[in-house]
Structure 1
Amino acid sequence: MTRKTALLHPDNPHQGSYDLLSLASKHPALKPHLIKNPTGQLTIDFRSPESVKELNRALLRSFYQIEHWDIPEGYLCPPVPGRTDYLHHAADLLKPLNPKKVQALDIGTGANLIYPIIGSQTFGWSFIASDIDPVSVNTAKTIVDANSVLKGKIKAVLQPDQQSYFRNIVAEADRVHITVCNPPFHSSLEEAQSGTERKWRNLDRSRQKRNGIKVNDANKNPDQKLNFGGQKAELWCKGGELLFLKKMIRESQDFSQQICWFTSLVSKKDNLLPLQKLLTRMKAKQVKVIAMSQGQKISHMLAWSFMDNGAQSIWVSEHQC
């Protein structure tokens, strides 16, 4: 079972095909979900939420020493390789600064807590994991409490103001080296549902081609749930990804001396130019756009800082732990 990996970060451990037999040996609950494709290769049914969740559990156990991980039904179950890729690119931003200890902030961590898990286990970062959804925050706290390797490294907190990103989370005395975010990219429930149906069509077409079946959209069930789920705040917000990130950029200026690097995933390429123009108007000193492979599509990481290289180096040296 081969995944598109052309643009994966060279340090990403999830290169090439999943070794499903190895994963199942470490996480036996994955074994019942293993199936063979027409060529006889092992795979899973990526249309099945249960199969995708068990694959995530297997990956988290095998690569990140996470023994207990679960999310409520219907909540976002993100692809681990793509999220790992984002964090490796984020880590590259900090390498020239060589901080002794990194404090990171995950905006909209979700019930899955995926960025703090990978970031703390791979790079030894400490995380503030914020979300506006109480269920997500409570689930994230449960994951931390259930895994000794996460205790003392991740603090899950509720953002009480749905219009804020850093306020109420980053105190005046706090210093954050880097922020990460996977924003809701749809602008309405209808758009999110349309995106769900489009992904199902793509999954069905891929399956039909692999099986030598003539592609036919008529057999698709429009009521099927997307395999990775997602709640309202995880999938859509008023104004979609573009407005969400414009608001984040404007607020980020108020934290220009407390946060070294701001970053976010940008799913829609057309949103990059208006965001870059806004950052110019906001007088960001550094702006970077990094292309990444996210499953079967190309996404981008947008990174910005209100400090130049010299100011960042001074900032890090003054706030070493």
Structure 2
Amino acid sequence: MNSSFMHPRNPYRTPPDFKELALKFPEFRKHAKQKLTGKIEIDFKDAAAVRALSTVLLKRDFNLDVELPPDRLVPTLPLRLNYLLWVEDLLQQVNPVSEQIVHGIDIGTGACCIYPILAARMKGWHFTATEADETNYKCSLETLERNCLQSHVTIVKVTAESMLHGNIDNSRKYDFTMCNPPFFDSDSFGPKSRSDKRPLPMCPKSGGSASTTEIAVKGGEVKFIENLIKECQELKSCVRMFTTMLGHKSSLAPIILLLKEAGASSWSETEFCQGRTTRWGLAWTFCDDLTVPKLPQIRPKNNGKGPPPLNYVISDERWSNKGDLSVACVLMKILELLNSLKMEIRKIKDKKDKKAIEFVARENTWSNQRRKQREGKRNSDQACEQPESKRAKIDGCSLELQKDQNFCLKGLLLLEETNTESIQLQMYWIEGGSGRESINQILQYMKNHLFEK
């Protein structure tokens, strides 16, 4: 998960420690798997594992006791929090909310009222949540009762044909709406013929089962939001700002055109990025006295591309006497070397002619660290015996050593077969360490100990 893409206040910018979760929660432990490197992971394609992860994080981080049904959409917390925190930023820009009661509407609240319960627990906000699905409605009611949140959240059972009209109290003022519409078009959702076998798409891709109505609707998300916009026009006197999440970037342009045609006074869009999943947010208003702010995008300055990789060609000559010149054999030797350097390894791609791994170094083990530590101890012992000018220099060395103790580097290594006589090695810096220089040092270490002995 690339934390630099996530909202600055999102607690999962620092990924959860799966080992800690496995030790604390038996329900999560049964889905945790220990790799040969010792790292604890789960299968994000396993809906039960993702469900267990979401429930234990809600319990640990927000004191929310939630039971998620096995046949409904699993709310992944980093994405939900990114959306919720963006709404909070919009409200702060439009009208600071620190001294007033905030009341929002969640259209189609899902199996556990995820947005309302998070907002109520974190911010003390009030919500009216609507839900058409009977299973989701009952589970959300039980969630509110179990967590004593009925004073902050009201859930309304509605029909699938109406999103807002007839479902809310028109006599009161609402600050915003939230919506996570079905992303897919139900007309092109199923198999095209009896012989076609099309797997049920998951939303998001990385984990979670769902009912068809949660992820597919006639006309897809554009048609869904078009119907919502029509209802918004009728409620512009009691709702100040409307927002929605979108699953496809291609939906933005047609929906913005619909907003223009409907007479929206202003609108704003954003991007929610968490790991490999990207979603889009859109906010609009029909109030002439309100301008929806265009907040800065939360993304790396270089648009996420990062610095270019370091390239190295492993030729037959450089690999002589080490076994077959194959991607599998070369990777095995590299893994042995990285393990000896006390690095954490995670496989990303595993094909015959192309393999990729992500590696994390918690300390610099490849550039004379033992010598540095000995020198640091020697300098510390001698510090009290030195004049003040020399002592300042020694203190500087101690600070450098302390920096090394906080060291953490993450990188990516890619091996690809170019022809029968050579293999292309690419190394990418992701974050931490001393930047690309650390990756350069590791590559040089590999050359000295593996490729150019």
CA contact (8 A) 2:267 2:291 kept: no
- Asked if 1:108 is matched to 2:139, the reply is no
Q: In 2, distance between residues paired with 1:7 and 1:156?
A: 33
What is the DSSP-based 3-state SS (H/G/I as helix, E as strand, rest coil) of the residue aligned with 1:129?
strand
TM-score, structure 2 length as denominator? 0.59
- Asked if 1:95 is matched to 2:64, the reply is no
Any residues of structure 2 matched to 1:13-28 within 5 Å, and which?
13-28=11-26
- Asked if 1:70 is matched to 2:31, the reply is no
Could you tell me how far 1:311 is from its partner in structure 2? 8.4
Any residues of structure 2 matched to 1:1-321 within 5 Å, and which?
3-67=1-65, 69-96=66-93, 97-99=95-97, 100-148=100-148, 150-160=149-159, 162-188=160-186, 191=189, 194=198, 196=200, 227-309=207-289
Larger strand percent: 2
Q: CA-to-partner distance for each residue in 1:247-269, whole Å, 9 max, x for gaps?
A: 11121111111111100001111
Instruction: Name the Cα RMSD after superposition.
Output: 2.3
TM-score, structure 1 length as denominator? 0.81
Q: CA-to-partner distance for each residue in 1:131-178, whole Å, 9 max, x for gaps?
A: 111221111001111112x23111111113x22211122222122111
Residues 197, 261 of structure 1: alpha-carbon distance in 2 compared, 3 angstrom cutoff: closer
CA contact (8 A) 2:202 2:208 kept: no
Which amino acid in the other structure matches residue 42 of structure 2? Answer: I
Residues 275, 38 of structure 1: alpha-carbon distance in 2 compared, 3 angstrom cutoff: farther
Residues 36, 230 of structure 1: alpha-carbon distance in 2 compared, 3 angstrom cutoff: same
What is the DSSP-based 3-state SS (H/G/I as helix, E as strand, rest coil) of the residue aligned with 1:14?
helix
Which amino acid in the other structure matches residue 115 of structure 1? Answer: Y
Moved more, 3-12 or 257-266: 3-12
| Higher-Rg member (1/2) | 2
Could you tell me how far 1:102 is from its partner in structure 2? 0.6
What is the DSSP-based 3-state SS (H/G/I as helix, E as strand, rest coil) of the residue aligned with 2:225?
helix
Q: In 2, distance between residues paired with 1:112 and 1:294?
A: 21
CA contact (8 A) 1:27 1:58 kept: yes
Residues 185, 151 of structure 1: alpha-carbon distance in 2 compared, 3 angstrom cutoff: same
Q: CA-to-partner distance for each residue in 1:100-121, whole Å, 9 max, x for gaps?
A: 1111111011113211121111
Segments of structure 1 that go 5 or more residues without pairing to the other structure are 204-226, 313-321
Q: In 2, distance between residues paired with 1:93 and 1:181?
A: 15
Residues 26, 273 of structure 1: alpha-carbon distance in 2 compared, 3 angstrom cutoff: same
Which amino acid in the other structure matches residue 116 of structure 1? Answer: P
CA contact (8 A) 1:79 1:295 kept: no
Could you tell me how far 1:295 is from its partner in structure 2? 4.5
What is the DSSP-based 3-state SS (H/G/I as helix, E as strand, rest coil) of the residue aligned with 1:30?
helix
CA contact (8 A) 1:5 1:15 kept: yes
Could you tell me how far 1:196 is from its partner in structure 2? 4.0
Q: CA-to-partner distance for each residue in 1:42-91, whole Å, 9 max, x for gaps?
A: 11122222211111111101121112x11222111121111111000011
Q: In 2, distance between residues paired with 1:27 and 1:108?
A: 30
Identity level (%): 28
Residues 134, 197 of structure 1: alpha-carbon distance in 2 compared, 3 angstrom cutoff: closer
Q: In 1, distance between residues paired with 2:190 and 2:286?
A: 33
Which amino acid in the other structure matches residue 229 of structure 1? Answer: S
Q: CA-to-partner distance for each residue in 1:4-51, whole Å, 9 max, x for gaps?
A: 333211011111322123334553321222212354321112222221
Could you tell me how far 1:191 is from its partner in structure 2? 2.4
CA contact (8 A) 1:26 1:62 kept: no
CA contact (8 A) 2:111 2:140 kept: yes
CA contact (8 A) 2:267 2:284 kept: yes
Residues 189, 239 of structure 1: alpha-carbon distance in 2 compared, 3 angstrom cutoff: closer
Counting matched residue pairs gives 283
CA contact (8 A) 1:29 1:54 kept: yes
Segments of structure 2 that go 5 or more residues without pairing to the other structure are 192-197, 293-453
Q: In 2, distance between residues paired with 1:283 and 1:197?
A: 35
Which amino acid in the other structure matches residue 89 of structure 1? Answer: W
Which amino acid in the other structure matches residue 244 of structure 1? Answer: F
Q: In 1, distance between residues paired with 2:109 and 2:34?
A: 34
CA contact (8 A) 2:127 2:153 kept: yes
CA contact (8 A) 1:82 1:295 kept: no
What is the DSSP-based 3-state SS (H/G/I as helix, E as strand, rest coil) of the residue aligned with 2:28?
helix
Q: CA-to-partner distance for each residue in 1:270-303, whole Å, 9 max, x for gaps?
A: 1101111111111111200011114522211000
CA contact (8 A) 1:26 1:61 kept: no
Which amino acid in the other structure matches residue 154 of structure 2? Answer: K
Larger helix percent: 1
Moved more, 297-306 or 4-13: 4-13
Q: In 2, distance between residues paired with 1:75 and 1:85?
A: 21
Q: In 2, distance between residues paired with 1:286 and 1:48?
A: 41
Q: In 1, distance between residues paired with 2:20 and 2:58?
A: 13
